[in-house]
Amino acid sequence: MGFMPPPQGPGNPFGPFFPQGQWPGSGPFTPPHHGPGSPGQQAPTSPPPSFVPQAPQQSLYAVDPGAISGCLFRFTYVWLNHGGNFWFYPVFVGRRSVAGYRWTGFHWMYFGIDLNQIRTFTCY
């Protein structure tokens, strides 16, 4: 079964980052599938740390896939260019995007984002 892109509009949990039928990077994004109901690797079984870390020095360059790949399968705090920030658990890094699980404050939700939307990050 192929991956269906997220819906556009209020039911789209990915917000304005993914217009209908498009994912980060060039062309459609298909996350790895490892089991029923799971778009990729399993989400963490516990919440992220209960603190908000201090942001590292702001980079003048885009986030590099090689740099964020060091955070795979680790709790990662992300600061976005538009001012948002959140706990994230990355399970896939592509050339221009990263996907994993974003903490909503109550549970983990599968999430993907273009690397150029990320201002900085730190992982634990």
Q: Which CATH number covers residue 108? A: 2.30.30
More confident residue, 12 or 64: 64
Average pLDDT over residues 78-106: 97
Into how many domains does the chain fold?
A: 1
Identify whether 19 is part of a domain.
no
CB 88 within 8 A of CB 76: yes
Identify whether 68 is part of a domain.
yes
Identify whether 65 is part of a domain.
yes
- pLDDT given at position 96: 95
Identify whether 40 is part of a domain.
no
Beta-carbon contacts of residue 99 (< 8 Å; ≥ 6 apart): 29, 31, 39, 40, 90, 91, 92, 110, 111, 112, 113
Identify whether 38 is part of a domain.
no
What does R_g of the chain's alpha carbons equal in angstroms? 14
- pLDDT given at position 61: 73
Residue 4 has pLDDT above 90, yes or no: no
Residue 103 in tokens: 């903490």
Average pLDDT over residues 97-124: 97
- pLDDT given at position 60: 65
Domain that holds residue 111: 49-124
Question: How do residues 48-77 score in pLDDT, each as one tens digit?
Answer: 999 999 998 876 677 899 999 999 999 999
- pLDDT given at position 66: 93
Calpha distance 9→19 (Å, rounded): 9
Average pLDDT over residues 2-17: 46
Calpha distance 78→80 (Å, rounded): 6
- pLDDT given at position 23: 43
Identify whether 43 is part of a domain.
no
Identify whether 116 is part of a domain.
yes
Alpha carbon of residue 116 to chain centroid: 12
Task: Report pTM.
Answer: 0.68
Identify whether 121 is part of a domain.
yes
